[in-house]
Structure 1
Amino acid sequence: MSVIGKHIVEEYYNRLPDYAYFTGCSGGGRQGLVLAQRYPNAFDGILAAAPAINLETFIPAAYWPTQVMRELKVYPAPCEIEAFTKAAIQQCDALDGDEDGIISTPESCHFEASRLIGKEFFCDGEQRRFTKEAAMVVEAAWNGVHGQGVGWYGLNKDADLTQSAITTSCNTGNEDCRYDNHNRDLFDPWFRSFAAKDSEFDVGNMNTSTFFSLLSTSIIEFRNAVGADDPDLRAFQVAGGKMISWHGMADTIIPPAGTTAYYQRVLQATNNTIDFYRHFQTPGVGHCVSGAAGLPERALGQLMAWVERGKEPEVLLASKNGSNVSLCLWPKRRVYVGPDPKVVGSFICA
């Protein structure tokens, strides 16, 4: 793509372009990392947002909450799942000093769904009580999957679990929550075509032992083909490339901890990483969409300034509802110091 694009520019303008950039989110973010890893001379700057780095792992692992529901034969209503999320936000929102409906420091949020078992909550116009089974399903989404020698990260506690992680027949307006309504376009083809290699495989009747076996198979057989998690970016560094990645901390599909873990591995594998690659966590942002917070929509311009003028991005700039936000370079966190949360200077990166 890069070679063809540069050739077209040269044919039309009789000169090569001064710079070439790539930007993408989710699968596009994954492509950006693949370019840096395998084609280090293709682009001068790469912006990789919410990258789907470990397809072979996070796709089957994301099925875990559904597997837990099926084993328990309990399918919580969306309003109960939302009540768990609301309680977690209430508990952990102020950890950064600013109560804004966002969990900015998820690693410091030790709230457990089991604390709510038996307590009352308001749901669909009536008072109900949190159940042990619903708490187990929510914890499966928050904690991720771990067992039989394999595992993967869960979603953060302010992510909307009813969007993808925990869906039932109630999500479609059916009052009878007796079965799940998982993303068949995502999970079924992966388990059938890649993990089980059986077009007739019944994902709905998979037991936990089979689930872990297929998760392990997926990781072992497809990591090298689709993983995009090679931390050795020295060739990209030598080529003079610059890369920015960011990941919404309220992502509902791809656990942001996976991207942070990849960046940590790059830091260990490559000297002077921040001279060419910087990662930012974006609190309150969903999967490639804004949420309680705004997207870093000026990130591409900041990448261009880094490539062309050597202006290193210490923060990414975002805005929502007229308020400007500075997103901190990992591992720093945005901390409220006052006096007014609507003023950029009221926050520092620490």
Structure 2
Amino acid sequence: MDSSGFNLNFLSKLLTTGFPLLASWNLSEQHAKCLALKSSLALENTTILDVSYVPADTTVRPHGTPHESCMKKAHVSASLCRVQFSTATSATSAVRGEAWLPDEWYGRFLGLGNGGLDGCIYYKELDYGSALHFATVGTNNGHDGSVGRPFLGNEEVLNDFAFRSIHVEAVIGKQIVAEYYGRSHAKAYYMGCSTGGRQGTQTALKYPEDFDGIIAGAPATDFNRLLHRSGMLGCYVGAPNIDLADTFITPELWKVVAQEILNQCDGIDGVVDGIITEPDACEFRPEELLCAERNGNSKCLTRPQVEALRKIYSPLYGNGELIYPRFDPGSEGISPLLFAGKFPLYTTDWVKYAVFNTSDFDFSDYGPQHGRLMDDINPGGIATFDGDFSAFRDRGGKFLTYHGRGDPLISSGNSKRLYDLVARTLGPASLDAFYRLFLVPGMGHCKDGPGAARFGQLGGQNAVNASAHNVLLALVDWVEGGVAPDTIIGTTEGGATRMHCRYPQRSVWDGSAYGCED
């Protein structure tokens, strides 16, 4: 406190936290312009929750109290204006989002997707996009937390999750961008994986004008069948009553299974490196692990366990129709968790709260009949398995998708299945001009794994500032320069690189390196 009795520390805090009257006297033009948004933004059905100017290398926290499953704080790499908003989508639903508007902006807009049953804003992706000079927007998908209970009794919240939140993100986000920078974006991009990949696919089909380029990683398309398949995988190993099941496989035995699969299939591509390059070429023979003794031990399997594995590594059919591709050999990294004897959380929540609209559901008799009901009800039209991308193609949109060949949650065969559906619908000759799929050996779900799984995707993994190594920048080159990516170069955790091929090309070892062949 100075001699006049005024608290200088208090004044300093007011100046640096954006008090509307005092701060405007000494703040930079960028800072002042940011704070002005609080009064200048007038968006339909939208409440501005907060506007703040955030210097580079700062930690921020979400508005209010975040759900326990969501991030509690986030790092900000680039100086930016942060706008937090909530848009009412009906009388009983709203989408909450954030726009991160970097000081150094290259005229590009980036929308972000979510994952699982997520109602979480992805702050690492907000930071990644804004650090690359995109005005970047993400939302909570219309509810809070990675849970399905908010769907119970509220069809509008379900609609936000199924199709509406990304459209809100695009419409409201672009208006915020135009107001702040004084001009509209030049190009709009989208990036998401898993549920985010499905959201990107759904947006291309339902709102083809929203984005010029879309990255849809490991898309959770044919959503109901995906979650039904997950439920059936649980059934194969005894869920939900593993104490009564003779098919349950312990975590110790899963290690044995994973090693046996590598023993049988790792060398098919000519290299023994702990990676199965082409899982479709792996005809796993679980009977090789059959115990000589009836009761089994920690190094071998009983006959019921062998039969359970045979089902897991086989496609799921119903009435002669393919329901969902098989679990990829080489995807066993989290098998002890995935096959722990409980129904997968996402399947449990989706079936209870979205499909049957109840909090009380008995999974003890779960079976094919539930999959048929999920297909028939298709809550919110969420399935997302349609080959007609013509509207997105015809307006010049570019669709880039990737999928790990070691993905334990969404079989990589499903991305091939969607590609083939689009090819049958629009004709294979037209696909290369707007749709490219990259299959990534040794990558798990969206990222990680022993393979070259880092190429500028979620959270900026290995965010090399070069389009050959960075899937987001490759999309920019394609949209803005007409340079379509033929390959993507990934990097392993240890720094080694590998070229990934666009489907239907195959990754082939020539004795010294991997190349791509038709």
Shorter-chain TM-score range: 0.7 to 0.9
Equivalent of 2:433, from 258, 275, 279?
Answer: 275
CA distance in 1, matches of 2:503, 2:254: 30
Equivalent of 1:40, from 208, 233, 236?
Answer: 208
Alignment partner of 1:139 is 2:310: yes
Q: Secondary structure at the match of 2:338?
A: coil
Is 1:113–1:139's contact at 8 Å kept on the other side of the alignment?
Answer: yes
Equivalent of 1:266, from 410, 419, 422?
Answer: 422
CA apart distance, 1:142 = 1.5
Is 2:354–2:379's contact at 8 Å kept on the other side of the alignment?
Answer: no
Residue 291 of structure 2 aligns to which amino acid in structure 1?
G
Could you say which residue in structure 2 is the equivalent of 1:187? 347
Residue 213 of structure 2 aligns to which amino acid in structure 1?
G
Moved more, 236-245 or 139-148: 139-148
CA apart distance, 1:135 = 1.6
CA distance in 1, matches of 2:273, 2:292: 25
Equivalent of 1:155, from 319, 327, 333?
Answer: 327
Is 2:355–2:378's contact at 8 Å kept on the other side of the alignment?
Answer: no
Could you say which residue in structure 1 is the equivalent of 2:450? 292
Residue 110 of structure 1 aligns to which amino acid in structure 2?
E
Alignment partner of 1:116 is 2:296: no
Residue 157 of structure 1 aligns to which amino acid in structure 2?
P
Equivalent of 1:57, from 216, 225, 229?
Answer: 225
CA apart distance, 1:235 = 0.6
Aligned pairs (5 A) from 1:226-265:
226-265=382-421
CA apart distance, 1:295 = 2.9
CA apart distance, 1:191 = 2.7
Could you say which residue in structure 2 is the equivalent of 1:106? 279
Is 1:281–1:329's contact at 8 Å kept on the other side of the alignment?
Answer: yes
Q: Secondary structure at the match of 1:92?
A: helix
Residue 282 of structure 1 aligns to which amino acid in structure 2?
V
Could you say which residue in structure 1 is the equivalent of 2:190? 22
Residue 79 of structure 1 aligns to which amino acid in structure 2?
E
Could you say which residue in structure 2 is the equivalent of 1:199? 359
Could you say which residue in structure 2 is the equivalent of 1:86? 259
Q: Secondary structure at the match of 1:143?
A: coil
Is 2:403–2:439's contact at 8 Å kept on the other side of the alignment?
Answer: yes
CA distance in 2, matches of 1:69, 1:40: 42
Residue 436 of structure 2 aligns to which amino acid in structure 1?
R
Q: Go from structure 1 to structure 2 and tell me whether the alpha carbon gap of 1:193 and 1:223 turns closer, same or farther (over 3 Å shift).
A: closer
Moved more, 142-151 or 73-82: 142-151
CA apart distance, 1:128 = 3.4
CA offsets per residue over residues 98-135 of structure 1, 9 Å max, x none? 21111111111112212321269xx9xx8633221222
RMSD over aligned Cα, in angstroms?
2.2
Q: Go from structure 1 to structure 2 and tell me whether the alpha carbon gap of 1:23 and 1:224 turns closer, same or farther (over 3 Å shift).
A: same
CA offsets per residue over residues 15-34 of structure 1, 9 Å max, x none? 21111110001111111101
CA distance in 2, matches of 1:65, 1:240: 40
CA distance in 1, matches of 2:415, 2:371: 19
Aligned pairs (5 A) from 1:310-349:
310-320=482-492, 321-339=494-512, 346-349=513-516
Q: Secondary structure at the match of 1:9?
A: helix
TM-score normalized by the length of structure 1: 0.86
Greater fraction of residues in helix: 1
CA distance in 1, matches of 2:483, 2:514: 22
CA apart distance, 1:90 = 1.7
Alignment partner of 1:222 is 2:394: no
Q: Percent of pairs identical after alignment?
A: 28
Q: Where has structure 1 moved over 6 Å in runs of 4 or more?
A: none
CA distance in 2, matches of 1:188, 1:268: 34
CA offsets per residue over residues 26-69 of structure 1, 9 Å max, x none? 11111110111111111111000011112211112112132123
Could you say which residue in structure 2 is the equivalent of 1:309? 481
CA distance in 2, matches of 1:336, 1:119: 38
Q: Secondary structure at the match of 2:224?
A: helix
Could you say which residue in structure 2 is the equivalent of 1:342? none
Greater relative contact order: 1 or 2 (C-alpha under 8 angstroms, separation 6 or more)?
A: 1
Is 2:269–2:508's contact at 8 Å kept on the other side of the alignment?
Answer: yes
Q: Secondary structure at the match of 1:281?
A: strand
Moved more, 326-335 or 224-233: 224-233
Residue 128 of structure 1 aligns to which amino acid in structure 2?
K
Q: Secondary structure at the match of 2:238?
A: helix
CA distance in 1, matches of 2:337, 2:420: 27
Q: Secondary structure at the match of 1:80?
A: helix
Residue 485 of structure 2 aligns to which amino acid in structure 1?
P
Q: Secondary structure at the match of 2:511?
A: coil
Is 1:46–1:242's contact at 8 Å kept on the other side of the alignment?
Answer: yes
Q: Secondary structure at the match of 2:266?
A: helix
CA distance in 1, matches of 2:170, 2:409: 29
CA distance in 1, matches of 2:267, 2:216: 29
Equivalent of 2:178, from 3, 6, 10?
Answer: 10
Is 1:250–1:283's contact at 8 Å kept on the other side of the alignment?
Answer: yes
TM-score normalized by the length of structure 2: 0.59
Q: How many aligned positions are there?
A: 323
Could you say which residue in structure 1 is the equivalent of 2:121? none
Q: Secondary structure at the match of 2:360?
A: coil
Structure number with greater Rg is 2
Residue segments in structure 1 that go unaligned for 5+ positions in a row? 168-179, 340-345
Residue 441 of structure 2 aligns to which amino acid in structure 1?
P
CA distance in 1, matches of 2:264, 2:238: 29
Is 1:63–1:165's contact at 8 Å kept on the other side of the alignment?
Answer: no
Residue 455 of structure 2 aligns to which amino acid in structure 1?
P
